[in-house]
Chains A and B, each alone.
Chain A
Amino acid sequence: MKVIEARGLRKEFVVRVKAGAIRRQKRVVAAVDGVDLAIERGEMVGYLGPNGAGKSTTLKMLTGVLMPSGGDVRVCGFTPVPQRVKLARRIGVVFGQRSQLWWDLPLGDSFDLLRHIYRVPAAEHALRLDRCRDLLDLDAFMQTPVRQLSLGQRMRGELTAALLHGPEILFLDEPTIGLDVVSKQAVRGFLAELGEKGDTTMILTTHDLADIERLCQRIVVIDHGRVVHDGTIQALHDRYRSRRRVIADFDEPIQTDIRLPGVELESSTGTRLIFAVDEVGPLISQLTQIGSLRDLSIAEPEIEDVISRLYLSS
């Protein structure tokens, strides 16, 4: 069953730009320009795109914050803005840049308020909260006012806050922004576990592609408000013919004129040669013959590379 369906989703912003001393000129910016999306229950989708692509704007339309300028959208069977309150009970939202907790109150008090706001039975609430406290290590700062939490601590709080009412869909806009390696791993691990259970649909935007590799089978890439890729990461590698790299270090400086089908010499600096290859085997047998090989490593194609190619080409 599809939990998110959007067809031709658009959002235009009217901005006034300076034209002369007092005169302002109206300009229409299409932040989201005809996005089609269909997401099944339980999917974990990475929503990617360069800065200003329209990711946050899309999520705001899906969560009922912004009224679309055009197109159709249904989330959990509701039309987000007119049915905002009903929809809000079924979804959880984390805007990494903006807190949803009560700034001056202890973290624990925010959770308690949310229980009332979402009318969650006490037992159910306690169960979910206990799990989050365990997995996200909240205990040390449950009594600390939110304004005194570090970014990483606050983000764990935000995630918990978004999950206490057991949402069907979780919208995450840059949930790992600004976190250290350990906090990132905690958040990713937590989301991965949640995803494995299969009943929570997740749509997540991020600029840290490691989040995507860890969590999402499917990625949707947008640029200038339009979808430029929708599929698996593998499909993207195939599309751009991403190749593995072979890095060979020799004992002495070396020149080579190896010619093999599907092998390309990318760089040659003193004792190091780097190749981009389709098939590793034939190259390696050649390499052992041309000199005394000290070290050899094979690098899988980087998601960073393929995504940056996609951003550059569109």
Chain B
Amino acid sequence: MGESLRIYAKLVGAQGRAQASYRTSFWLDLIGSSIIVGADLIAVLVIFSRVPALGGFSISQTLVFFGIALTAFSIADLVVGNIERMRNYVRMGTLDAMLIRPLGVLPQLLANDVGFRRAGRVVYAGAVYVVALSYADIDWTPGRVVLVVSAPLFGAVFFAAFFVATATVAIWWVESGELANALTYGGRDLTSYPISIYGGWFRRMFAFGLGFAFVAYYPGLALLGDPDPLGGPAWLGWASPLVGIAASGVAALIWRTGVRHYRSTGS
């Protein structure tokens, strides 16, 4: 295990050196991605300039959900974001070269482009989260101190699992286009708002069937100490580690099955 981590670190380091050989594009990406990401926050602020509450939550409460979701997503994106290239790797047959090495394919693929350039977004998301928490007037208990850190981390685990699972679809369906991206970015955007604003079958499927309610909504409620307008019990706020781990298990299964179905290319 330790040895594997060391090899992984070597690969990441090598990739960092490779990226540094394209220095200008690295900085441009870093700046560009930080600007783009600011737009989501503005969207929330614009909504609250029109309505006083969303799904029963004020702006300061909603920003806590938003902060957790954004931080979780940007951490996941930093670590496993390169999986969005899976489709190209499958189409070009690049996975061949990874399959003949005595390492897992997933770590190799992720090490291929750890997003140093996406690091800026984590910092930005963390800042939004901290500001949101300071406005939210939280009654700090030891449990909530743990939760404030664990929520974005297990949310990141959940998002990472979702990234991997959706990207794997490309193995069966090479022409899947931007489907995987649409799902992951869509998942982030939907998670940024209290799920009480969604209704009926959509909420059941998205929030509970897929588990997105446990990324930001329930941990956020537990931090704020607010009851669930949907009537869920309070302990749901502490369930995100379980949901994150379960999602990882499912993603690992899909990934393994996918790699066995990989068909390479004819030349």
Chain A contacts to B: CB under 8 angstroms? 13, 52, 56, 60, 63-67, 81, 84-86, 88-89, 91, 93, 95, 97-100, 102-105, 109, 113, 116-119, 145
User: Do A66 and B101 touch across chains, with their CB atoms under 8 A apart?
Assistant: no
CA distance A91 to B102 in the complex (A): 10
User: Do A65 and B21 touch across chains, with their CB atoms under 8 A apart?
Assistant: no
Question: In this assembly, does B228 line the interface, its C-beta being within 8 Å of a C-beta of chain A?
Answer: no
Task: For chain B, residues 91 to 119, give those with C-beta under 8 angstroms from any C-beta of chain A.
Answer: 93-97, 99-104
From B14, B102, B262, give the contact of A102 (CB < 8 A).
B14
CA distance A117 to B103 in the complex (A): 7
15 new A-B contacts at CB < 8 Å, known A60-B96, A103-B18: A13-B263, A56-B267, A65-B95, A65-B96, A65-B99, A88-B101, A89-B102, A98-B93, A98-B97, A102-B14, A104-B18, A113-B14, A116-B6, A117-B7, A118-B102
CA distance A63 to B100 in the complex (A): 7
A1: min CB distance to chain B, Å: 22
User: Do A66 and B262 touch across chains, with their CB atoms under 8 A apart?
Assistant: yes
CA distance A98 to B97 in the complex (A): 8
Residues of A within 8 A of B97 (CB): 95, 98-100
Question: In this assembly, does B11 line the interface, its C-beta being within 8 Å of a C-beta of chain A?
Answer: yes
User: Do B102 and A85 touch across chains, with their CB atoms under 8 A apart?
Assistant: yes
Residues of B within 8 A of A67 (CB): 260-262
Residues of A within 8 A of B6 (CB): 116
Question: In this assembly, does B181 line the interface, its C-beta being within 8 Å of a C-beta of chain A?
Answer: no
CA distance A60 to B265 in the complex (A): 10
A sample of 7 cross-chain residue pairs with beta-carbon separation below 8 angstroms, ordered by A number, consists of A13-B263, A88-B102, A100-B100, A109-B17, A113-B10, A117-B103, A118-B102
Residues of B within 8 A of A65 (CB): 95-96, 99-100, 262, 264
A125: min CB distance to chain B, Å: 14
Residue on B nearest A119 in the bound complex, by CB: B3
Residue on B nearest A82 in the bound complex, by CB: B260
CA distance A97 to B11 in the complex (A): 23
Q: Select the residue from B100, B261, B262, B264 with max chain A CB neighbours within 10 A.
A: B100
Residues of B within 8 A of A63 (CB): 99-100
Residue on B nearest A99 in the bound complex, by CB: B97
Q: A64-B100, A85-B102, A105-B14 are in contact. Are A145 and B21 (CB under 8 A)?
A: yes
Residues of B within 8 A of A117 (CB): 7, 11, 101-103
From A89, A104, A118, give the contact of B21 (CB < 8 A).
A104
Task: For chain B, residues 41 to 65, give those with C-beta under 8 angstroms from any C-beta of chain A.
Answer: none
Residue on B nearest A31 in the bound complex, by CB: B266
Residues of A within 8 A of B19 (CB): 104
CA distance A311 to B10 in the complex (A): 48
CA distance A269 to B207 in the complex (A): 86
User: Do A95 and B96 touch across chains, with their CB atoms under 8 A apart?
Assistant: yes
Residues of A within 8 A of B7 (CB): 116-117
Task: For chain B, residues 5 to 45, give those with C-beta under 8 angstroms from any C-beta of chain A.
Answer: 6-7, 10-11, 14, 17-19, 21-22
CA distance A91 to B93 in the complex (A): 20
CA distance A246 to B93 in the complex (A): 49
A116: min CB distance to chain B, Å: 5
Task: For chain B, residues 212 to 267, give those with C-beta under 8 angstroms from any C-beta of chain A.
Answer: 260-264, 266-267
Residues of B within 8 A of A84 (CB): 99
CA distance A64 to B259 in the complex (A): 11
From B18, B100, B260, B267, give the contact of A105 (CB < 8 A).
B18
CA distance A262 to B97 in the complex (A): 52
CA distance A85 to B260 in the complex (A): 14
Report the 7 A-B pairs with minimum CB-CB distance, sorted nearest first.
A104-B18, A88-B102, A100-B97, A65-B99, A93-B100, A89-B102, A85-B102
Q: Select the residue from B18, B103, B261 with max chain A CB neighbours within 10 A.
A: B18
B29: min CB distance to chain A, Å: 15
Residues of B within 8 A of A105 (CB): 14, 17-18
B21: min CB distance to chain A, Å: 6
Residues of B within 8 A of A64 (CB): 99-100
From A66, A97, A102, A109, give the contact of B267 (CB < 8 A).
A97
Residue on B nearest A13 in the bound complex, by CB: B263
Residues of B within 8 A of A104 (CB): 18-19, 21-22
